Amino acid sequence: MVKYLKKATNNLSEKMKDIPNRYRFRPEYIRRRRLIAAGIVAVILTVVIVVASLVLSSTAPTTSPNLTNLKSLAQSATKPVWPSYGSGAIGAIGFDGVLAEYGGQSTRPIASITKIITALVVLEAKPLNGNESGPSITLTQNDQRIYDLAVAAGAAVKPVTVGSSMTEREMIEAMLLPSAANYSETLAMWAYGSVDEYLKAADNWLVTNNLIQTKVVDTSGLLPENISNPSDLINLGKLVVKNPSLASIVSLKKATISGVGEVSNSNQLLGVLGVDGIKTGTTSEAGACMLFSSVINVGNEKITIIGVLLGADDRGGQNTDIKALLSSVQPGFKSVKLVSRGQEFAEYKTAWGQTSKLISNKDTSSVIWSDTPISITVQADKVSTLKSGEQKGEATIKVGAKVLKQPLITDGSITSPNILWRLTHF
């Protein structure tokens, strides 16, 4: 526009040169010259007004964000210390599937771990709330017969007093803590009417809970056809921990049961390295087996580790192996700060010299296992103007299969460019 004004002025000067001096000061010429000048000024003003109007009414140019290079959050790998026998795995509540395993996923006899399935299937039909005792169960001559058969089979038992009664909770305690096989059958028959009906319910329950590699043929685990694999057993352990009544029972070191007296838990690791369950099992075919849980503090969170070892030669050796395993895996759960409050993710730099950063508005941390992959992708809007504190983007944080969303806000404002910048960049 400045060039246009200059050109118009030059043209007027050239025309003035062509007019003889004797005409320049005549009244009619002066009037004419004034009219011409006024016209030129009017045109110029019109152009100025139109251009200024267009400039001022136009939106500010958009600015694209420049994404910040983020530092790597890669963690070191954890190497569990596994024994040389059998098979096993570890997992954790809040973490999908199996986190580490050894020995393959072939099915094996699981001995008295079977009783955990019995407890869960019975609680499906006869649920308990928290520490509720549940209904009273009267023992009959048939329960004495079950006891006698279990003794003859060489199973672990606890005595029966015909005519006495115990609560549902007490019977589950008798089945799980000292691993009394006779009470596993008595409990199943009380809940389902017969062992056959119980087994049908157990089959359906296993399918419903996607434990498709697990099969039970009795209530106690005495027979070698009671089988499972490490992956299914990790998921079974998670179901126990998520059931408050059962979780509280398997954590007991001792219990006093009506008609039986005081019983002790066969799990000798309770209280060691955070162990608070779940079930031991031993037969000649299965060897020593153990499904266990361990609670540890990681940052501000409590993490429950689920583990299983199958096929040990003896209980004492397996206990030593479980302690070595837990000592190796517990440090593998780490609280990692993924995002810090005020951390920069992008920056806006306008053509007219203003800047604003895109930052996080809070700290975000997550407990991860071992070298679980962590990635962060940033979505940031294009902007023309913005206010400080506006959300203009989002960080998507992937921690393994878990996805977290982090809002991103601006740390300063961006206003429209001034009139001078607009005129010189129109």
What does DSSP say about strands 254-257 and 261-264: parallel, antiparallel, or unpaired? Answer: antiparallel
DSSP assignment of 69-102: PPPP---PPP-----SSSEEEEEETTS-S-SEEE
The pLDDT of residue 418: 85
Predicted local confidence at residue 47, as pLDDT: 56
Interval 239-269: pLDDT, tens: 999 999 999 999 999 999 999 999 999 999 9
3 state SS of 261 = strand
For residues 102 and 95, what is the distance between their CA atoms, to the nearest angstrom?
18
Q: Which residue has the tokens 């504190």?
A: 389
Q: How confident is the model at residue 423, as a pLDDT?
A: 75
DSSP string of 102-157, one letter each residue: ES-S--EE-GGGHHHHHHHHHHHHS---TT----EEE--HHHHHHHHHHHHTT---
Q: What percent of the chain has pLDDT over 70?
A: 88
Place 424 in a pLDDT band, splitting at 50, 70 and 90.
Answer: confident
Through-space distance between the first and last CA atoms of the chain, rounded to whole angstroms: 10
CB burial of 140-171 (b: ≥16 within 10 Å; e: otherwise) equals: eeebbebbeebeeeebbbbebeeeeebbbbbb
pLDDT at 1: 47
What gap in Å lies between CA 220 and CA 342, rounded to an integer? 58
User: Under DSSP, is residue 319 helix (H, G, I), strand (E, B) or coil?
Assistant: helix
- What's the pLDDT at 2? 45
Q: Would you state the torsion angle of the CA atoms of residues 180, 205, 304, 250, taken in this order, to the nearest 10 degrees?
A: -20
310-326 confidence digits (pLDDT tens): 999 999 999 999 999 99
What the block records as the tokens of 21 is 């001096």
Residue 360 has pLDDT above 60, yes or no: yes
pLDDT band at 4 (very low <50, low <70, confident <90, very high): very low
Structure tokens, 281: 């099992």
Among 5-9, 55-59, 168-172, 264-268, where is mean pLDDT lowest? 5-9
Contact, 263 vs 250, CB < 8 A? no
Q: pLDDT digit string (tens) for 62-111?
A: 999 999 999 999 999 999 999 999 999 999 999 999 999 999 999 999 99
CB distance 151 to 185 below 8 Å: no
Q: State the pLDDT at residue 12.
A: 46
DSSP letter for 187, please. H
Phi then psi for residue 387, to 5 deg, are -105, 155
> Cα(115)–Cα(110) distance, rounded to whole angstroms?
10
Length of the chain: 426
Distance set, CA 194 to CA 118, 149, 162, 166 (Å) = 13, 16, 19, 19
242/244 Cα distance (integer angstroms): 6
